[in-house]
């Protein structure tokens, strides 16, 4: 009932030369058994959208402004991302929360902008190491979920990515029990927040996902896929993650 999703976040990496990696990825998965999305820097969205041809690869932005247009130098509206070929946009990534002081209310406004533009918002949340060590993980992600997921969120327009800040780019990954605890909690909280649609929203895990740990993570209940940073930059690294997700999906199919 929830199509599994492998999403790559290239962050501030990649130039037109990197598009050869996309070709290699599409060649490796000509008819993927899961949904595949790449979120390159905004400068590459249009080129990537053109490059995929008839392949079902989804393309996403990494941020958007809440307003559809206006005097906001350097910002990009959701409608512009959509116009360039994006169907998804990441909002509330911890790097933006930290680097740009984005709070939950702003993240919700950005998610609403994505919905207004007809795109899927990938809303990110996750605790810091300090918050985890203080035993506040569920309190923090619960607050982030309540305040960052806008009214009107559905399984069709919203994806949630649980990305513990301490696992991003560090090679440190929570135990499967820790992931299961948070994802189960988020599933329940989501249903309390948006009702029956909560069962249809995909919950991704993100933070140091690699080919070597993907299968174990994808076997955790309520993990519907991954948001992958570093290992999404090269087809040779991302492809085994996609393959592990395809295997998990095939195992679950009736
Ligand atoms: P890494 O996969 O590089 O740890 O990054 C995760 C992430 O932040 C994806 O948005």
How remote is the CA of residue 1 from the centroid of ligand 1, in Å? 26
81: burial class by Cβ within 10 Å (0-12, 13-18, 19+)?
buried
CATH for 5-252 is 3.20.20.70
Q: Supply the pTM of this predicted model.
A: 0.98
Consecutive 10-residue averages of pLDDT for the chain (254 residues): 96 97 97 98 98 96 98 98 98 98 98 98 98 98 98 97 98 98 98 96 98 98 98 98 97 79
| pLDDT 10s digits, 72-92 | 999 999 999 999 999 999 999
* 174 within ligand 1 shell (Cβ under 6 A): no
Residue 254's pLDDT is 65
Catalytic residue positions? 93, 163
Residue 144's pLDDT is 98
| pLDDT 10s digits, 95-127 | 999 999 999 999 999 999 999 999 999 999 999
55: burial class by Cβ within 10 Å (0-12, 13-18, 19+)?
middle
* 241 within ligand 1 shell (Cβ under 6 A): no
How remote is the CA of residue 127 from the centroid of ligand 1, in Å? 14
Residue 252's pLDDT is 84
């Amino acid at each position: 009932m929830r199509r599994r999703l492998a999403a790559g976040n290239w962050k501030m990496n990649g130039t037109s030369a990197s598009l050869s990696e996309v070709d290699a990825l599409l060649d490796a998965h000509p008819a993927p058994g899961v949904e595949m999305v790449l979120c390159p820097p905004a400068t590459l969205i249009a080129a990537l959208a053109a490059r995929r041809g008839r392949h079902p690869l989804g393309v996403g932005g990494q941020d958007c402004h809440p307003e559809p247009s206006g005097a906001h130098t350097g910002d990009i509206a959701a409608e512009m991302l959509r116009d360039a070929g994006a169907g998804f946009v990441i909002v509330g990534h911890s790097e933006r929360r930290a680097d740009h002081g984005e709070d939950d209310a702003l993240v919700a406004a950005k998610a609403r902008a994505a919905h207004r533009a007809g795109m899927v918002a990938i809303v990110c949340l996750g605790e810091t190491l300090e918050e985890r060590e203080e035993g506040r993980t569920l309190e923090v992600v619960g607050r982030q979920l309540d305040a960052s997921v806008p009214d009107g969120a559905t399984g069709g327009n919203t994806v949630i990515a649980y990305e513990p800040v301490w696992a991003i780019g560090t090679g440190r990954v929570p135990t499967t029990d820790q992931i299961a605890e948070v994802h189960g909690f988020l599933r329940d909280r989501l249903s309390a927040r948006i009702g029956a649609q909560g069962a249809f929203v995909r919950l991704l895990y993100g933070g140091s996902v690699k080919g070597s740990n993907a299968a174990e993570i994808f076997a955790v209940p309520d993990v519907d896929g991954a948001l992958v940073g570093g290992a999404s930059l090269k087809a040779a690294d991302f492809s085994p993650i996609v393959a592990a997700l395809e295997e998990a999906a095939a195992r679950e199919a009736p």
